[in-house]
Chain A
Amino acid sequence: MTGPLLLLGVLSAAGGLINIPELYHGNAWLHHWLEPITQASTPLLPAVPLSTSTEWLLVGIAVAVAVVGIVGAWQLLKPQALVPARSAPEERGFARLLRNKWYVDEIYDALIVRPLVWLSREVLWKQVDQRAIDGAAVNGAARGARALGWANRWLQTGQVGVYVTAFVVGVLLILWRAMS
């Protein structure tokens, strides 16, 4: 883990250097990232002048939080007494609940992930997309066109008699329309 942590440390420092507080006469490069898109909104942003003491206070709080975190973790965990997870005794009671992160992942999985995946796969994809839209509407239109052609196929028998009959019926119909 040391390698990745080193890398992340360097990147964090780089991230911080993009916007150095005014306290250290820094640059606010990040402010200009999305120009000229943010041009319209820039004048609307309230300019908050920070006093030097406020900045020192903020820096101080950030450092204090980090120090408390490091010292607190050191005190609680006692690194010299830690053993590898495999040989550690199994947690009981509240510790077990904590070890399983309050079962948040499991609850989330059961309440949101599984129903959503089921809905997406069984309803949206298989029923709506494949069956209704693609099957009934899109390929249904193709089948409909083919059925229409197939149904009208008997008109094209190649037998002159059929054509003549149809012709005579047509002529009679037109005559009948014209007479009435």
Chain B
Amino acid sequence: MYARWVLTALLTWPLLAGLVVLLLPARLAKYVALGASLVEFAISVPLWWTFAPAGGMQFVADHTWIAAWGIHFTVGLDGISLFLVLLTTFLMPLSILGSWSYITKRETGFYTLLLVLTTGMIGVFVALDLFLFYVMWEVMLIPMYFIIGVWGGDNRLYAAIKFFIYTFFGSLLMLVAILVLYLHAGQATGVYSFSYAYLLSNAKDLGPVAWWLFGAFFLAFAIKVPMFPLHTWLPDAHVEAPTAGSVILAGVLLKMGTYGFLRFALPFFPAVALNQSVQLVIVVLSLIGIIYGGLVAMVQPDFKKLIAYSSVAHLGFVMLGIWALTLQSVQGALLIMINHGVSTGALFFLAGMIYERRHSRLIEAYGGIARVVPLFAAILTIVSLSSIALPGTNGFVGEFLVLLGSFRTYPIATALATTGVIVAAAYLLTALQRVIYNPLTNPENEKLPDLTPRELAVLIPLLVGILWVGIYPKPFLQRMEPAARALIEQMKPNAASTAGQP
């Protein structure tokens, strides 16, 4: 019973709640939004137990939407999307609670947009109809544009427009590619449908067109990931967005790019994706992302920008893991996607909390505040260590698996990628030293109040996630394994039997 309505409910509930928020007085907006997002999370939690790891696509719901064009409302969940949906529903209440005192103007609009955004994000992860996928992809773009453009920092309009045009450019190319796939399958079989399974089974014999289509999907997803050199929208958007915006951007929106590769670009065009030159380009770009992203993060004076560039590096690991296509590397990539959402989300929350106290994002504005705000310092340390991938934290398990799995496919690239781990330690530990240690020189920092119970309520769930995945990743890996294995078999039918063996 639950399996039939859960995904539909997850998609419609935030929209309904958003409508309610619109109708209520502004001072109630955040309470209603928090309540609604907690209900949303509660609806999604049983997915964890009821999900059958070996069951392939499940919780499927299928309704005709626009029959004349073969457009359906089809949603479903597998081991790849399960955690992304859970990550989204997990981060939303925290984002709303984290905006409690940060957002002081036009609260109605802000919380409505956050709720609409929830629908868009979950929709992207569960859509099994390419038209629905495209609609959801755009649905999530618009609220984020307003969140950055209205509630952002000083340079918010520049960042918002850049984010929008950049992402939109890629997604329009993707729309063209989707239409070509739709027409190609329709002309070949006489049945016109946007269904994922149908288009997937009819995506063969595309000939040289496959290269163009892959290119279009690649651009759309690579911008979103973001891969070097398509990343420069990210530092602007992350820095200018309000805390909740940065958390969701880093936590969920970036994963849509890597998710798109896993769900669409790879299975639809395996021959192109596994072409030697394509592999070379992607691995080199991932590697540049890892090392270049880390080095540039190291010299950022602005703490939020540092986190933004560190995302480029982390997502480089994900891309490397995906393309290496071994069981460990794909599971590691999936795990990093979750870990990055939790750890980087926590870093952005912490950056936002200290910004609310001092109104500066510059690292040099701080120093020695460990004595003044010990709780903040302790949590920042733990979260930073998890972002560095210290053993015992979530980051380690993900990066270790990616490096372990990728080494078999790309030994040299993987060896080089390990330097990224060292660079991560360099930029985060020096930032940590300059923010919470060193002598306290600025008198403005002497009277900073420590974290409030509300802020702890935001951070503690994230800390639990960091340690849980770090110490006992088995429940996560078990649920991902069949989906990762299926992807590898789809991509490399000959290697299927040896996918799990070294």
Give the B-binding residues of A (Cβ under 8 A).
Answer: 34-37, 39-41, 44, 116-117, 119-121, 124-125, 128-129, 133-134, 137-138, 142
Contacts and interface: CB of A to CB of B under 8 A. Distances in A.
Contacts of B299: 117, 120-121, 125
Interface string B36-71: 000000000000000000000000000000000000
In the complex, the 6 A-B pairs of residues with the closest C-beta atoms, listed nearest first: A121-B299, A120-B295, A134-B232, A120-B299, A125-B296, A133-B229
A101 to B, nearest CB: 19
Given A36-B481, A37-B401, A137-B229, 6 more contacts: A37-B331, A40-B500, A119-B295, A128-B292, A138-B232, A138-B233
11 contacts: A34-B397, A34-B473, A37-B328, A37-B401, A37-B477, A41-B502, A116-B298, A120-B299, A125-B299, A137-B229, A138-B166
B501 interface: yes
Interface in B289-323: 292, 295-296, 298-300
Contacts of A128: 292
Interface of B: 162, 165-166, 229, 232-233, 292, 295-296, 298-300, 327-328, 331, 397, 400-401, 404, 473-474, 477-478, 481, 500-502
A44 B502 CA distance: 9
B478 to A, nearest CB: 7
A149 to B, nearest CB: 15
B292 A124 contact: yes
B407 to A, nearest CB: 12
Contacts of B292: 124, 128
Given A36-B477, A37-B331, A129 B232 contact: yes
Contact of A116 (B233, B295, B473, B477): B295
Contacts of A138: 162, 166, 232-233
A137 B328 CA distance: 37
Secondary structure of the B contact surface, majority rule: helix
Contact of A36 (B295, B296, B478): B478
A16 B206 CA distance: 59
A128 B401 CA distance: 31
Nearest to A43: B501
A173 B397 CA distance: 69
Nearest to B500: A40
A146 to B, nearest CB: 12
Given A34-B473, A37-B401, A37-B477, A124 B328 contact: no
Contact of A124 (B296, B400, B401): B296
Contacts of A116: 295, 298
Contacts of A119: 295
A133 B500 CA distance: 40
Contacts of B165: 142
Contacts of B474: 35-36
Contacts of B397: 34
Contact of B296 (A34, A37, A44, A129): A129
A19 to B, nearest CB: 14
A40 B501 contact: yes
Contacts of B477: 36-37
Contacts of B502: 40-41, 44
Contacts of A117: 298-299
A39 B478 CA distance: 12
A100 B125 CA distance: 56
A120 B478 contact: no
A45 B69 CA distance: 57
Contacts of B232: 129, 133-134, 138
Contacts of B229: 133, 137
A163 B474 CA distance: 72
Nearest to A129: B296
Nearest to B291: A124
A81 B452 CA distance: 49
A44 B501 CA distance: 10
Contacts of A142: 165
Nearest to B481: A36
A129 B226 CA distance: 14
A142 B158 CA distance: 12
Contacts of A40: 327, 500-502
Contacts of B300: 125
B171 to A, nearest CB: 17
B331 A120 contact: no
A124 B295 contact: yes
A95 B483 CA distance: 62
Which has the most chain B C-beta neighbours within 10 Å: A44, A129, A133?
A: A129
